[in-house]
Amino acid sequence: MTYKIDQERAPIYETLANYARTGIYGFHTPGHKGGRFAAAEITELVGRSGLALDLPGMTATDNTFHPTGCVRDAQELAAELFGAAATFYLSAGSTLGIATALMAAAPQGGTVALPRNIHRSVVAGLVLSGASPRFVPHEVLPECGALGVTPVSLAAALDSEPKPAAVLLTRPSYYGLARDLEDVAAVCHERRVPLIVDEAHGAHLHFLPPGSPQPAIAAGADLAVQSCHKTLGSLVGSAQLHVGRESVIEPGRVQEALNFLQTTSPSFLLLASLDVMRRWMWREGRELFAAAVEEARRLEDEIDSLPGLKVFRPEGDPRLAGHRRDPLRVVVNVSGTGWSGYEVERYLRTEFRVEDEMADWFNVVYILSPRDDAGATQRLLAGLRAISEQHNTGAGTPRLAEDAVSSYLLQPPVPPLAMSPRAAALANKATVALDSAAGRTCAEMVMFYPPGIPLLMPGEMVTRETIEVCRKLLAAGAHPYASDPTLETVRVVE
Ligand SMILES: Cc1ncc(COP(=O)(O)O)c(C=O)c1O
């Protein structure tokens, strides 16, 4: 492919580097004054050159509200490389991008159609935008969590009243699973409903070999939000929001929404890291990721040869028709070894000094990259070999009872919505015992990690069924994630 603008440029990085070279002294923010007034530990952490370039939005740099200089140019370069009509650089993660997308696409009081496997940032986005959710049913499998919504179930959600103003899908999932998107995008486009994709885990899809999941923007999404810090090499917190070429949402509307939410002091170090990452990926991304996929295949074959361990591969599984997986997300099912995923996680951390991205009862999930440490990969294999060789003696995580497994796996019925997430989140609240909360309107998010899918969202009625599921999960040793870390109490609308 030929590019119209010079992808060899890195405008934000060049602007910072040129500014540092001018020798101008700043009688302005930031207070650390290029590192002169920084604690020694900060200098140690960030380095002298990092501190010298840690500049805010100002005349010499640019700004992210109405960019007219290096930020505008860098965003145009990113849009071209990633195939978007416009790209917005974010210095507060996909969390900022998702809230922006929802505020741009969903009017206050409107409805957003979405599956239940949403990240907490989507719930925050609903609170900020004032929209209410309509949950689209989808399947969940023990091997890989949530499957993608089908065109049929999405069409049914979009054709019922009140008509949703937008659709939001999470793709790929934490397990690297991505359903093909084009037919789902077509369902949205036929109805002129914008499709937002939370692609937090898929910034690298663009550079993967054929056969991998298609990036959302290429498959027809209107808006896609990517945490570049998760799977590309930019700094933690850096992310980008793309507007599709045929998007029904104008880039100007996205900028307006973003301007309500973003800081006036975005970290230009983070923005520069997006800029140089984009240039590097333009130069070498495809080769680097092709080689990484080959490495991943070799590793997976070795893991699969270990008795009791099984790498998740959707190919040929009729339940997963239309789904592909991220080849760099290695999901190892450990249930054949007698170990839970949590036990494997702990054992590999302490005995082999390797850490996974996520564990659940049955699986451990590893994210690979083009530059993984070969020695660490060998330690990972050695640890998994050791697990395969010794059947677990079982002192650690409690085994899951059959019904707890199904409560965990099969998303319990979505509780009825008593008021909008925004109304509940901003209401006066009371703290009550979980066991006596039935019939009250929840004012917070209650979830278990993993899978981190909300069991309760602000605005939803606490039901006896949900309380029972929480109890079973607590008894089974699952980790609650709520204002009360023991989940003995819950915040409800007063
Ligand atoms: C599916 C999903 N969406 C959104 C986010 C938020 O991303 P960020 O941490 O970049 O704000 C995450 C973070 O873990 C995520 O897993």
Q: State the Cα–Cα distance between residues 195 and 222, nearest whole angstrom.
A: 5
Distance from C-alpha of 440 to C-alpha of 76, rounded to nearest angstrom: 49
CA of 181 to the centre of ligand 1 (A): 20
Q: Are 154 and 164 in contact (CB under 8 A)?
A: no
Full set of structural domains in the chain with CATH: 11-24+60-281 (3.40.640.10), 287-389 (3.90.1150.150), 402-493 (3.90.100.10)
The C-alpha angle 44, 47, 52, rounded to 5 degrees, equals: 135
Cβ 199 under 6 angstroms from ligand 1 = no
Q: Residue 239: CB within 6 Å of ligand 1?
A: yes
User: 285: which DSSP letter?
Assistant: I
pLDDT per residue, tens digit, the chain (494 aa), is 677 789 999 999 999 999 989 989 989 999 999 999 999 999 999 999 999 999 988 888 899 999 999 999 999 999 999 999 999 999 999 999 999 999 999 988 999 999 999 999 999 999 999 999 999 998 888 778 889 999 999 999 999 999 999 999 999 999 999 999 999 999 999 999 999 999 999 999 999 999 999 999 999 999 999 999 999 999 999 999 999 999 999 999 999 999 999 999 999 999 999 999 999 999 999 999 999 999 999 999 999 999 999 999 988 899 999 999 999 999 999 988 988 888 899 999 999 999 999 988 889 999 999 999 999 999 999 999 999 998 665 544 445 555 555 555 556 789 999 999 999 999 999 999 999 999 999 999 999 876 678 899 999 999 999 998 898 878 777 789 999 999 999 999 99
Pick from 446, 420, 448, 416: nearest CA to 434:
446
**Is the whole model's pTM more than 0.85, yes or no?**
yes
Among 243, 244, 198, smallest CA distance to 96 is for: 198
CB distance 198 to ligand 1 below 6 Å: yes
Torsion (CA) 261, 262, 264, 267 in degrees, nearest 10: 160
How far does the centroid of ligand 1 lie from the alpha carbon of residue 358, in Å?
13
Which H or E element spans position 490?
strand 489-493
Q: Work out which ligand 1 atom sits closest to the CA atom of 227.
A: 10
Q: Which residues pair with 190 in a beta bridge?
A: none
